[in-house]
Structures are given as structure tokens and as C-alpha cells.
Amino acid sequence: MSEYIVEMRHITKRFPGIIANNDVSIGIRKGEVYALLGENGAGKSTLMSMLFGMYEPDEGEILIDGKTVTFHSSTDAAACSIGMVHQHFKLVEPFTIAENIVLGVEPVEKRLGVLPWVNIRKANEQISELSKAYGLEVNPTDRIEDVPVSVRQRVEILKMLYRGAEIMIFDEPTAVLTPQEIDFLLQIIDNLRKDGKTIILITHKIAEIKRIADRCAILRQGRLIDVRDVAESSVQDLADLMVGRQVRFTQDKAAPNFRDPVLEVQNLTVRDEHKFEVVKDVSFTVHGGEIFAIAGVSGNGQEEIADAIAGLVKAASGKIILNGKDITGEPVRERCLTGLSYIPEDRNATGTIPDMTLQENLALREYYKEPFSKKGILQHDAFRRYADQLIETYDIRCAQGPDTVLRSMSGGNQQKAIVGREIEEQTSLIIFVQPTRGLDIGAIENIHRQILQERDRGAAILLISLELEEVMMLADTIGVLYRGEMLRIDSAENMTMQEVGRYMMGVREA
Amino acid sequence: MNKVFTDGLSFALPLLIMAVGALYSEKSGVTNLAIEGFQGVGAFFGALAATLLAPLMGNGNQMIIYIAILCAAVGGALFSCIHGLLCIRFRANQVISGVVINILSVALTAFFTSAANTAINGTASNKFVLDVSARFSIPLLSQIPWIGGLFTNMYPFEIIIIVLVIILWYLLNRTRFGMRLRACGENPQAVDAAGANVIRIRWAAVMISGALSGIGGICFAYSLIGNFSPSIYQGFGYLAIAAMIFGNWSIGPTTLACLVFGLAKSGGLQLCIAAGLPSNYTDLFLMLPYVLTLLLLVFFSKKNHPPKAAGEPWDKSKR
Amino acid sequence: MKKKNIFLARRLTGRYASLWVSVIAILLTIVTASILLLIMGKNPLTAFASFLQGCGFLAKENYGGGSGQLTDMLDFLNYLTPLILASLAFITAFKAGLFNIGISGQMLLAGFTATVLVGYNKALSPFIAKPLVLLIGLIVGGLTGVLVGYLKYRFNIHEVVSTIMINYIISYLTGFFINNYHVDMMTRNSKVCTPEARLTLTNVMIGDMKCKIPLGLIIAILIALLVSFLFRKTVLGFEIKAVGQNRRCSEYSGIRVSRTILISMGLSGAIAGLAGVAYYLGYTNTIIPKSLPSMGYDSISVALLGSGSPIGSIFAAAVVSVFQQGSNYMSSSLGVAKEIASLITGILLLFASCGNYMKYLAGRTMQQTSEIASQGSSRTAPASPESKEAKTK
């Protein structure tokens, strides 16, 4: 009998252009919480995807209970009692919770002895019982599209339990949760451990590892750096190992210097396509030199506020005033010219045109003005000159210079390009939505520094982030959004992280 | 009045089976504009079988029709593999693929019809003449005032289609296969993570849509035109897609939309005859279903919810 | 074999990748068509030669009185002219991410309107009639295109469905008017239009050969250059391309998407209208009622084969025209049904639509070869602590 329930030996996995895992070997004991620590792109998720059968390793072998196994699909992995909660939940939105849980292992019965059908009522009962047993209360007949993120995560955990998983992989499970929800989740993980399950936790948050994990493997650039007993390692040690250099945990932030109001949002209401009010009667003011952060759990109306200010969605009612001018009904371009720039959440869907070149993407705000075009005719050398300049200033790494197709660049460099393009406009209001999503620590530090620089220049900053640490670190003023309503707006000094977290869950009186 | 219902139904049902075909494909996440091509090629195979069998089994033998329908389904399914190959295997743009297949199908059937006719009877005719299908009325039901026409002078294929659609509804909404198929069109990653084979399900869905469209095509050939010729390509495949869009990708409302189309078409024609207009004016009334489609699309397109993953090729290795 | 793969892969990832895709598609089509012809017991070489002979690229064995290789060549150009225009129409909409399947209908409506308004008016001098025909083509086609664009952005109606519906509506509507008011009782087609209005000069004697001169060809080439200029050099072209590639980002960067869609559909329709008048008042000078020109669909093959390049589409149109226009002669000299021309075009389209996959495969092959080259270094990485731990157990 092997000491390890899971062993991965000399695993190497290549993707076009990168080596995601390079000769990684780990062993996990039964009944422990084993953490995989590393930055974005360190190869944690890839490694676990191989354990879960979603990819096959190019080299190396996987052993479960001391026996070599080869997984061609996640079905094979599930047959070895392995389950995984992915970072991006794998849920079918119009399906009910129960339907999602049984998908792939449906309870099929024969109606009248011949007609096969899926007995969903039986599944509902089973799931009710299972959810009670583990303290994961869900209503099996709710549709996924109607339930919040934390419930969706419970559904993913129930999926594993329903399949009788003994080895459970959690990929960045806390990224989308409030502090209170994180507490709840860690409690659940602890219960599962007591129940004899083996837990693998993929994360880049060291605090959580300290709270829950027994051992921790650190990955950097696809290689295994070290395996530590968590109890014997300090937070600073783990952080330095993860990044490969000394990490600074705080940004130097000068005292704010508020100037005149730049953006005034008055009683803004936004409706979605079903006429549902996703933003309800929201009012706030952002001054020059102020970072106003909107905190909230994903899907509570943050993106809609940003889009409404930028003009991408219509305001159902209310007023948006920028630099003293009512821009509520203005088209997007007019708003930009009035002094607005916007770093959107989704780099590829909104922020760039991935199949165009870097120089074209960098000129998206300027292409119609001189010197980029004269009398409707494009001036390609102006595009190139401008791109060269921004590549230099913002340290954008690109293989073919201004002619690089944007899609072929890394996420971090795409983000640099967007941030550079928007900051270069020198507008009085800059909206940042999730500006550091999916970036590594170096890039995050860089963007945080730029946000602070812009504030100190006198720009008004509207920061929308799901990362509560980011909000707490940067904001001068915090507004907490819950189901489209602004529950509280206050100076950042007057609120603790726990307090903000409670508002994020809709508790009005903290 | 009776004629309106009788003709309306015989137009609506082939349209419906094609719309359900399109629905299966789109629900699995493969946008399908190739219905027009599938139905034409399916009808070609059915008509070819009928032409070949007629001398063997005797003219007027009604069995031929059933064999023709079967052959149309098989032929449509086989031809739909091109769409599967392009969309699923080669990850081509699914709209382009649909258009390409429609163009190709017109050329293919025209070429092979004349080639087959040359081989069979030496004339390079571009049509297969089909026997007249027997028709029947359901006793009692056909006597009901007002709507009796729905049950009068029915083609046998109408019953086949009604039964098929009920089975297809059950398959899509109550069985494991249907559940996974619907999930594939919304979130293929979820299906893959749950251990089902997205590629295989999508192939099955595309081939089902090919088979169903083929059935629709041969039924049109029998009921509307009476032969197989290039006039099978009258845009019925697109009408079916439009019906599916009004039906919001759901079989019940789609059935309703098809009935509306069918009745509008037959109603318009009867109106023209009743008004005593010369036959030249029928062209104007033949235009009605298309005008109606456009108008209905104007009212219903905005709040529709197509399957989320439709049109996106599924690539397992994508991270 | 391996070496050849890399040879192709390098070309398919290089600068002229799109050109190579087209070349490969044409080669594959020729191979497929040859197999088809062999099965039918015909010699593919003779067949392809006769396609070329039918278009005046190769000399036929004998010619009738008053005709010669030049006659065939000019007939070929006469057919080519509307096809170039039609494919430019498709490209203009395609760059904005729109599939204009309605080119047939736009051609028919423009051709019909111009025929009725100008083609039957015997009083007009050619110098007024011909420009008027072009103008009507532009306006009628353009308005039809704008309607499709409007339905698209205002009511969210997919342009493929709406254009098909409009195609049939136009087909029945014009059919109704032709059958009732403008029919030629002998041919059952519409009455022919006047030579003054026709865009092709007929019965021009060059030497002893009676030839047709397609005036529209100059316009077609001019429009190709204009479309090329539009997308390479102008702000409008940049905006259309942006909308075609990422509608949401275009909106975000301040482009008025709905206006851009209207403009590109309008331009597309207008060029299709020109194609329509070049076809109905040039190539033919009559309209078959209730029949949509198959050229509207062939234009999609041309655009795909030319991989969306306006200049490339001139050459792609020539390839497709050889098959379409040469099929008559091929059919009569070899006894193969002339429908094979459409079949070959369809197969060509099939292969051309796999272009992206070809490029993807090529990209992967290149990646693999470069990785094999660099693997030596990554293998020698020092073993990490835990791998030692694992070995000792």
C-alpha cells in the first residue's frame, strides 16, 4: 500500500507555444488538504486538469492508490472517485440544480417497462437529502440562472458528492466569494476532510492556505519549486517562493486630494432585456483625485453601471453628469470626448478587436482624428508611430511590434495595451473594471501603481472590482452594491473588510 | 374553407418536421442554415428510390412512398455529414457552412438527376415524376364543422410526421440523450466535464436534422409539386428555420408557427380563387408566406433566446 | 511526406497564406472533378481543355462563320463582369460580418426596375440611357440592402433569413409584373431591352468576327479598386472591418454600429444592383420570370475563393466563370451534363470554406516542428525536490 492516494510522477504537458508543466512530481496523502500555490499561469490548473482527465500528459504517469492509471476523459477520472470544482463553473444555466447535478449520471428508468426516461423527481429527493447531510442547503428545482454564485458553487460541490468522489479538486474556489462566504466554504472543506475525503486546493491566496491546508506545493512557470508543511512556513516565505522574489504587500499610497466633482450619477436605473431592474436608483459622485470603488459580488449590477456610464447600455431613468455636462443620452463617442475612458472587464470581447493588429487596437480611440486620418483617409505611419510610442511607454511585449496580431499576445500584455490606450487619452474620468483579472503579481502591482498615478494626476477613478483586497487597498471611497442597490457609500477609512463583506451579502445594518 | 385546412396542414407538417430538425441541431450547439439543402438532397434520394422501384413494384404501389420516405431520411442524414464535417470536425464558420451546403445541394441534385435520368431512360430530364399519393379522411373527425378539413384528404405522411414529432419531443425533453443534447447547446464544457461526449452528441443531432429535413423534402415533393425537380428549392428550409425562431427553439410553439404558415399559404391561394382573380395573380398570393415570415420576425425576433453555445465550434483543447 | 507537410505548412502560415489556400482549394477541386469525370468514363484533360476552349483561352478546332476565339473570349468577359460585381457586393457586406445571401434578389430587382424604366424607353439616347441604367441599379440595389441592414439592427432579424425571404418576395413580385405586363409571348421571358440601354455593345465587327463588348467590365474593375481602397485606406472601411470583427468593441470605441451596418449593407446592395444591371442589361437582355440568378450564389464562392480580397476576387471570378461559361462547349463536345459546372463550383466552395482549418493545421504543424527543435533544452531541467522524494518511495 502506497503512502499516497494520488501520485503524479514527472508530468510534462505542452501547449502550442508554452510548456505548462515541466517534470512535475507530487504525492498527496489520503485525508489531507493539499494546496497548490502559484501565480496565474504557473500551471496549477493544467496539472489538476490532467488528474481530472481533461488533458492527457505528454510525459509522466499518474498513480491512484499506487496503481498506474490513464485517463482519456473526465469519466475515467470520475470512475476513480475524483471530482473537480472548476474555476469557471461548468453549469448549464437554463437547467435546474438537480438536472445539473445528475447530468452525465442521470437516473434512467423505464416507463411502462419500455420507455426510457430520466427520473428527475427521484434525483430531486436524493439531492435534497445529500445537501442537508453536508450543510449545503440548495433547492433542487431552482434554475441555475436564478441563483447567486455562492449557491452555484455549492451545486458544484454537490455534483462531486453525488458521484461519490473521494478526491476533490477545488480550482480557485474563493475568487468570487465574500469574506463570509469564504468562511463558510472553508468550514465545508474542513467537514469534508473530517469525513475522510482528500482535498486538493488550487489557489494563489496564501491566507486561505494558512487557514485550511496541511501541505502546500508551490509551482512557478510550470515547475515544482518546493513542497512545504503549511504549519511550519510563514506567509512571507510562501509568497516569496511563489513569485520568486521579495514581495511587497502594500502599495505606497499618498493621502488623497479631492478636487471638484467629475462624475455625478443621479438615481440611475438600468433594466436588462427582460425589463428586470439590474441597477436600482443608484446615486454617487466621484471627484477629481478620488478613487471611488464599487464592491460587490459578481452579477450585482457593477458591469451595468460601468456600461451605462460609458454609454454601452441605456439608462432606464436617472442622470449621468460628466464634467458638468449631462451625458445621459449622448452616444459613446461624445462621452469619450467629454472626458471618459474605460478599461472594460472583458479584454477580448469588449476592450480589443483580437484579430486586428496592435497598432490598430491602440488607435481605437483616435483613428478618426488627425493625424491618424485626414479627410477620411487613414494615415498608416501615424498609427505606427503612435504604437511605437505606447509600446515603449507601457512596456508592451509583442513579437512583431506594431504589426503583432493582438490575439497572439499574452493576457497581461493585452491589458497593458488597453490601459495604455485609455490612460494616454488623459481624460478626467477613468473607469477600471476588474483591471487585474487573471494577471500575475508583477502585472498587478504595475496596474495598481498606474491607477494611483492617475489619481494623483487629478483624474477621477471609478474602480469596479470583485477582489475585495484590491478595493480595500486602493479605494478612497467605497460603495457597496447588492442586487443593483447601493447599500452604503462611505470613506474607505470608515469601513473594515468584514463590514464591506457583510454589505456585499445584503446585510443592511452592519 | 375545408380546402384551406386540408392544404394548410399538408404544407405545415413537412415544414414542421424540418423545423424540428433545425431545432435539434441548434439545441446541440450547431447553427443550421443547411436545412434547405438537406431537404432537397433527401427528397432527391427518396425520389430516386421511388423512380427505381416503380417498375419493380408496379406503378401506383403505395408501399413505394414509405420506402421513399425512408430513403429520404437516410439520404438526408448522409448528406448532413458534410455539415457535421465542416462545423464539428473542421470548425468552419457554421453560417458559411450552411450556405455552402445549400449551394452545393442544388448543384448536386441537378447534376445527378439528369445523370440518373440519362442512365434510366436515356433522356437528360431534370425531374423525377412521382406517383400520386393516396389520401384518406378520418371518419367522424372529418365531419366536425369548421375544422373538419384538418382531418379530410390527409396524406399518410402527415400521420407519420405527427407521430414522429411527438416521439422527438419526448426524446428531447424526457430522455438522457435529449437532456445532454440540450446541455451541449448551452454549455458544452459542462457536458464534457460531466463525462459525456460533446462531439458525438453534436454529430447525432446534425444527422437527425438531416434525416428529418429529408423526410420534409420528400413530403413536399409528393404533396406540393408531384415530382422531384429543382423547384424543390423554394426556400422552405428557410421558412422552417424562421418557424423555429418564432417558436423560440421549443417544439410546441414551433408547431403553432408552422400551422400559421401553412394556413396563410393555403388561405391566400383559396382567397385568390374565391375572389375570381385570373391565375396570373397566384404569384402575388404565393408571396404571402414569405411576407408573413418577415413581418412575424419583426415582432418576435427581439426577445428570442437562441441556445447560448450555438455557432461556437467546440474545441476540447481550448483552455 | 513529412517534408512536404512542412513545405505546405510554411506557406499556409506565411504572408501569402490566403493565396495558398485558394490555390490548394482549386487543386483539390480539379482532382475531385477529375475523379468524377473518370468515373463517368470521360478524359479529364480533354474536359478541362474544352472548358478553356469554350472561354476563348484555347482555340477550338473549328469556328462557325463570324465567330472566333476572340468572340468566345469576349463572351467570357461579358459573363465575368456581373460576377466580379456580385462578389464585390458579397465582400462589402462580409467585411462587416454580414452574409448578404440576397444578392440574387437585389440583382433581379435592380435589373427589372432598370429594364422597365429605361430599357423599354425607345426615346432615350445611349449617352443618357446607359448612365441612367447604372444609377437605377445603384439606387434600387442600395435601398434593398439598407432594408436588410435596418431589419438586422432594429429587429435583430438574421440577415440570412431576411435576405432569403426578400429574395422570394422579389422573385414572385417581378414575376407577376413580367407575366402580366412585359412578357414576350414567344419566349415567355420579359421583352428585350433597347440596344441604347444595354451595357454590352453587340454585333461589333472586329476583323471578320462579330463580337460583344462588355462596357461594364471597366466599371467592375473600377469598383474592385474602389472597394480595395475603401478597406485599406479609409476611416469608413476601418469602421466596417471593426464592426465585422467585434461588434461590442466597436460600440465601445464609439463607432456607431447601426449606422455602419446600414452603410455596408447599402453599399453591398448598391454593388449588387450594378451586378444586376450588368447581368440583365448586359450579359442577357431579358429576364426569366420567377427565377433568381444563380450568379448571386456563385458570388459567394468567388468571394470565399478570393479570401475576401477585392482584387483577388477578380481572379477568383475568372476561375469560376471558366467553369460556368465554358460548360456549354464542354457539354456539347463531351456529352456531359452542363450542370457539372455548378457542381464543380460547389465543390470549390466546399474546399474554400475549409481554408481556416487548413491554416489552423499548418499553424499546429509549424508549432510542433519548432517545439521538437527546442525540446532538448527543456528536458535537461534539474529534478525538483518532490520528484526526488517520490523516487525514493
**Got the DSSP string for A69-99?**
E--SSHHHHHHTTEEEE-SS----TTSBHHH
Share of chain B above pLDDT 90, in %: 44
Q: What's the rounded Cα separation, in Å, for the pair C317 and C301?
A: 9
Predicted confidence (pLDDT) per residue in C18-47, tens digit: 888 888 999 999 999 999 999 888 899 999
CB contact under 8 A, A353 and C245: yes
What's the one-letter identity of residue A109?
E
pLDDT at residue C377 above 50?
A: no
Measured between CB atoms, which of B174, B195, B319 is closest to A74?
B195
Q: What's the rounded Cα separation, in Å, for the pair C288 and C280?
A: 10
Measured between CB atoms, which of A16, A312, A352 is closest to C367?
A16
Q: What's the rounded Cα separation, in Å, for the pair C298 and B60?
A: 40
The helix/strand/coil state of A504 is helix
Topology alike, domains A4-243 and A261-355+426-504: yes
The mean pLDDT of B99-106, rounded to a whole number, is 90
Of B36, B178, B34, B41, the C-alpha closest to B92 is: B34
Residues 6+ apart with CB under 8 A from C170: C105, C106, C108, C109, C144
Domain boundaries, given as residue ranges, for chain A: 4-243, 261-355+426-504
The mean pLDDT of A197-203, rounded to a whole number, is 93
For residue B317, list chain A residues with Cβ-Cβ distance below 8 A.
15, 55
Following DSSP, what letter does each residue of A187-230 receive, concatenated?
A: HHHHHHHHTT-EEEEEES-HHHHHHH-SEEEEEETTEEEEEEEG
The helix/strand/coil state of A272 is coil
Contact C344, C29 (CB under 8 A): yes
Q: Which residue has the higher pLDDT, A12 or A412?
A: A12
- Residue C251 — very low, low, confident or very high, per pLDDT cuts 50/70/90? very high
Q: Shortest Cα distance from A472 to chain B (angstroms)?
A: 31
Q: What's the rounded Cα separation, in Å, for the pair B248 and C284?
A: 43
pLDDT at residue B212 above 80?
A: yes
pLDDT at residue B45 above 60?
A: yes
Q: Does B193 touch chain A (CB under 8 A)?
A: yes
The mean pLDDT of A497-506, rounded to a whole number, is 88
Mean pLDDT, chain A, as a whole number?
90
Mutate to test the interface with B, among A91, A92, A101 (most CBs of B within 10 A): A92
Q: What's the rounded Cα separation, in Å, for the pair C27 and A349?
A: 37
Of A230, A245, A79, A105, the C-alpha closest to A165 is: A79
Q: Which residue has the cell 499561469?
A: A41
pLDDT at residue B17 above 50?
A: yes
For residue A354, CA distances in Å to A358, B308, C12 come to 9, 21, 20
- Residue C383 — very low, low, confident or very high, per pLDDT cuts 50/70/90? very low
Provide φ and ψ at A31, rounded to 5°: 80, 10
Beta-strand runs (E) in A314-367: 317-322, 325-326, 340-343
Q: Which residue has the higher pLDDT, C281 or C380?
A: C281
C-alpha gyration radius of chain A: 25
- Residue C371 — very low, low, confident or very high, per pLDDT cuts 50/70/90? low
Q: Shortest Cα distance from B241 to chain C (angstroms)?
A: 8
Q: Does C248 touch chain A (CB under 8 A)?
A: yes
Mean pLDDT, chain B, as a whole number?
88
| Cβ atoms < 10 Å from Cβ of B317 | 8
Contact A424, A454 (CB under 8 A): no
Q: Which stretches of chain B sit within 8 Å of chain C by CB? A: 33, 82, 86, 90-93, 95-100, 103-104, 106-108, 110-111, 114-115, 118, 124, 234-235, 238, 241-242, 245, 280-281, 283-284, 286-287, 290-291, 293-294, 297-298, 301-302, 304
Question: What pLDDT score does A251 carry?
Answer: 64
The mean pLDDT of C360-384, rounded to a whole number, is 58
Predicted confidence (pLDDT) per residue in C58-80, tens digit: 888 888 777 888 889 999 999 99
Question: What pLDDT score does C385 carry?
Answer: 37
Question: What pLDDT score does B32 carry?
Answer: 92
Nearest 5°: CA angle at C271, between C269 and C276? 90
Q: Does B170 touch chain A (CB under 8 A)?
A: yes
Q: What's the rounded Cα separation, in Å, for the pair C128 and C116?
A: 15
Residues 6+ apart with CB under 8 A from C234: A376, A377, A378
Say what the pTM is: 0.87
- Residue B164 — very low, low, confident or very high, per pLDDT cuts 50/70/90? very high
- Residue C374 — very low, low, confident or very high, per pLDDT cuts 50/70/90? low
**Bridge partner residues of A200 (DSSP):** A34, A169
Question: What pLDDT score does B298 carry?
Answer: 87
Counting other chains too, the contacts that C317-322 makes at CB distance below 8 Å and 24 or more residues apart are C317/C80, C317/C83, C317/C84, C317/C87, C318/C80, C319/C26, C319/C348, C320/C83, C320/C345, C320/C348, C321/C55, C321/C76, C321/C79, C321/C80, C321/C83, C322/C51, C322/C52, C322/C55, C322/C57, C322/C76
Predicted confidence (pLDDT) per residue in C303-314, tens digit: 988 888 999 999
pLDDT at residue C390 above 60?
A: no
Share of chain A above pLDDT 90, in %: 63
Contact A308, A279 (CB under 8 A): yes
CB contact under 8 A, C393 and A377: no
Predicted confidence (pLDDT) per residue in B307-316, tens digit: 888 888 877 6
Question: What pLDDT score does B230 carry?
Answer: 84
Most trustworthy range by pLDDT among A52-61, B109-118, B210-219, C202-211: B210-219
Contact B8, B265 (CB under 8 A): yes
Per DSSP bridges, beta strands A429-433 and A261-271 are: unpaired
Which residue in chain A has the smallest CA separation from C361? A16
What's the one-letter identity of residue B72?
A
Contact C223, C230 (CB under 8 A): no
Of A453, A465, A459, A452, the C-alpha closest to A429 is: A459
Provide φ and ψ at C289, rounded to 5°: -65, 150
For residue B312, CA distances in Å to A80, A102, B58, B307 come to 32, 25, 49, 10
The helix/strand/coil state of A125 is helix
Per DSSP bridges, beta strands A291-295 and A460-465 are: parallel
Measured between CB atoms, which of C254, C367, C393 is closest to A3?
C393
Predicted confidence (pLDDT) per residue in A48-102, tens digit: 989 998 888 999 999 999 899 999 888 888 889 999 998 888 999 999 999 999 9
CB contact under 8 A, C166 and B245: no
CB contact under 8 A, B301 and C176: no
- Residue A248 — very low, low, confident or very high, per pLDDT cuts 50/70/90? low
Which residue in chain C has the smallest CA separation from B313? C357
3-state SS record for B139-180: CCHHHCCCHHHHHCCECHHHHHHHHHHHHHHHHHHHCHHHHH
CB contact under 8 A, B82 and C350: yes
**Bridge partner residues of A24 (DSSP):** A11
pLDDT at residue A378 above 50?
A: yes
Provide φ and ψ at A60, rounded to 5°: 95, 175
CB contact under 8 A, A364 and C363: no
Predicted confidence (pLDDT) per residue in A101-148, tens digit: 999 888 888 887 778 888 899 999 999 999 998 888 899 999 998 888
Contact A352, C250 (CB under 8 A): no
The helix/strand/coil state of B247 is coil
Share of chain C above pLDDT 70, in %: 93
Size of interface A-B (CB pairs under 8 A): 70
Weakest-pLDDT range from B3-12, B32-41, C110-119: B3-12
DSSP state of B282: H
- B188: cis peptide before it, omega within 30°? no
For residue A424, CA distances in Å to A340, A363, A374 come to 12, 11, 21
CB contact under 8 A, B91 and C161: no
Residues 6+ apart with CB under 8 A from A66: A1, A2, A4, A7
Q: Shortest Cα distance from C11 to chain A (angstroms)?
A: 18
CATH of region A261-355+426-504: 3.40.50.300
CB contact under 8 A, B195 and A273: no
3-state SS record for A245-262: CCCCCCCCCCCCCCCCEE
Predicted confidence (pLDDT) per residue in B229-282, tens digit: 888 888 889 889 989 988 889 999 999 999 988 988 888 888 888 887 777 788
Measured between CB atoms, which of C233, C255, C386 is closest to A224?
C386
Assigned architecture for domain A4-243: 3-Layer(aba) Sandwich (3.40)
Of B259, B254, B248, B244, the C-alpha closest to B289 is: B259
